[in-house]
Amino acid sequence: MIDLDPVSSGYNVDKGSADLGGRTFPQSVSLRVDKNSIPANDAEYNIAGRWKSFNATIGVRDDSPAGGRLTFQVFLDGSPLPAHELGIGESRELHIKVTGALRLKLKVTFTAGEYYDNYSYGVWGDAHLSS
């Protein structure tokens, strides 16, 4: 898991176990979003150029409302990498080279859904940096 504390975050960063598509990811970073009050959430980490790669499985946490879609994006030193839009039950593995990067930012944006009072959770399952 990313053992670092974020140097900044948009709202709340939950660390710990999360379920994606029926699989449990014990070391995860979850970012809460919704249609109105928290349409986007992020966490930025100081990785100080010490790491070679960032790996995670991204998806919408299983206990989120059905029908919503979230967009996941990684930024390295402020530059965006390609985004991925996923709904509940969908996941994608990420393997990103971060060699030389000073900052790693994880961002989740509420993309689609009609519910107003429930939160969705964008999960970076078993998120970790490796050297």
Token pair recorded at residue 65? 């409302």
Q: How many CB atoms lie within 10 A of CB 10?
A: 19
Q: How confident is the model at residue 19 (pLDDT cuts 50, 70, 90)?
A: very high
CA distance linking residue 90 with residue 88, whole number of Å: 6
pLDDT at 14: 84
CA distance linking residue 79 with residue 54, whole number of Å: 15
CATH architecture of 8-130: Sandwich (2.60)
pLDDT at 11: 75
What are the residue boundaries of the structural domains of the chain, listed by start?
A: 8-130
CA distance linking residue 100 with residue 21, whole number of Å: 33
pLDDT in tens, 38-77: 899 999 999 999 999 999 999 999 998 888 899 999 999 9
pLDDT over 70 at 115, yes or no: no
Q: How many CA atoms lie within 13 A of 35 on its CB side?
A: 12
Cα-based distances in Å from 131 to 38, 40, 60, 72, 125: 34, 30, 28, 23, 19
Phi-psi region of 11 (alpha: psi -120 to 50; beta: other; left: phi over 0): alpha
pTM over 0.95: no
Task: Evaluate whether 72 touches 108 at the Cβ level (below 8 Å).
Answer: yes
